[in-house]
Amino acid sequence: MADFSDLTLDVAKLRRDFPILDREVHGKPLIYLDNAATSQTPRQVIEVFDDYYGRYNANIHRGLHTLSDEATAAFEGTRETVRAFLNAADHREIVFTRGTTEAINLVANAWGRVNLKAGDEVLISRLEHHSNIVPWQLLAGELGFTIKVIPVDECGVLDLAAYRDLFTERTRLVAVNHVSNAFGTVNPVAEMARVAHEHGARILIDGAQAAPHQAIDVQAIDADFYAFSGHKVYGPTGVGVLYGRAELLEAMPPWQGGGEMIKTVSLEVPTTFADIPHKFEAGTPAIAEVIALGRALRWVSDIGLDLIGAWEARLLEHATEGVAGIEGLRILGTAPDKAGVLSFVVDGAHSQDIGLLIDQLGVAIRTGHHCAQPLLSQFGLDATCRASFAAYNTPEEIDVFVEGLERVVGMLR
């Protein structure tokens, strides 16, 4: 089994930051292995909400009073935290959204409507989450451009030779995830960006599953757009980030109109818009959530993403070895470079039944299509079971999961 002895992560201490890990489910200690859907939240992030609403709850940017100044400073401080987290060149390249889905829709509507037209091509992969498929399908239906699909092999790895061959003089955009939520495949996004730029295309990267597991450097990747969600990276729901190159954001029109995103409004002459990033942040934002996101990113950075990623890799190794002896179990996604995601099916057992029964043992996993129906359909499936790991998971929890899975599979046969 995997050896954890050389890693310095103090998981027992780290787990004390998570109140929810002390609870029981069906009389059993909670073992939470659904982190690819939503990670749990440390108390330091939870406390941000009490602090904000209890001490300086106010709207931001235009107030002259003390509470508004304090809220604005905390909100904009998170923008700098995110800039550093992504190694963006400029804090103006950080746009706050409701999550990765809204960030991708923002690019589709603000960049895509201006830069895409009938006859153009957008490349996506079969590994994509629905949120990086459907916005482009909707826009293609209106504008008439073509969506071309990067194929995936039997291991869940993108075919890079086929990717290069898909480019033509009409290719305008590549939209691809950094890490697959369904299989855990880590895509070579820097190489993909290099190829896209050689052909004069832009690249948008869905980083929702990468942000919790590895350090991200948007300048080294040479990303044009990069998006992630707070709730995947130990932060709150309802908040996310779009990184965009400053020159691209400046050239894009606003997506939503309202307060905050304007310079002047008149009924006689055209409205003028705020500078980036505020041009894309219409209305009162999720102020507390943004501030809490900043705290979550500092919590992750203090531990170290390299250490977190190494720990999760050992957990994945431990779990993969553990389930290998279960008769009829087949792992989906065997890429050599993977994040901490274990997707599997078991002959003669429906994924939903496995999920419901193992929950009775206190183990939370995800079942279903994981918003990746095109990927699963390639393998003749409509659902898998998925266990996904985070910094607070332990080898002992993996052992309980494997023992519980063996028991459940035995019941279903």
C-beta separation of 126 from 149 below 8 A:
yes
- Dig out the tokens for 389 from the structure: 């790991």
Give the 3-state DSSP-derived string for 328-376, with helices as H, strands as E and coil as C. CEEEECCCCCECCEEEEEECCECHHHHHHHHHCCCEECEEECCCCHHHH
Name residues whose C-beta falls within 8 Å of residue 392's C-beta, 6 or more positions apart in sequence.
11, 14, 15, 17, 18, 21, 40
- How far apart CA 13 and CA 116 sit, in angstroms, is 51
- How far apart CA 225 and CA 242 sit, in angstroms, is 7
Which residue, 147, 151, 155, is CA-closest to 119? 147
Q: Is 155 a catalytic residue?
A: no
Element (H, E) at 32: strand 31-32
Task: Name residue 344's beta-bridge partners.
Answer: 331, 385
- How far apart CA 196 and CA 134 sit, in angstroms, is 21
Distance from CA of residue 218 to its chain's centroid?
Answer: 15
Which residue, 83, 63, 79, is CA-closest to 71? 63
Which residue, 235, 399, 242, is CA-closest to 301? 235
Q: Strands 171-177 and 121-125, how do they pair?
A: parallel
- How far apart CA 361 and CA 130 sit, in angstroms, is 31
- Dig out the tokens for 82 from the structure: 């995110």
Handedness of CA 50, 51, 57, 60 (dihedral sign): negative
The one catalytic residue among 37, 262, 329, 371: 371
C-beta separation of 57 from 209 below 8 A:
no
- How far apart CA 368 and CA 383 sit, in angstroms, is 4
- Dig out the tokens for 20 from the structure: 């929810």
Element (H, E) at 125: strand 121-125
Active-site residue set: 371
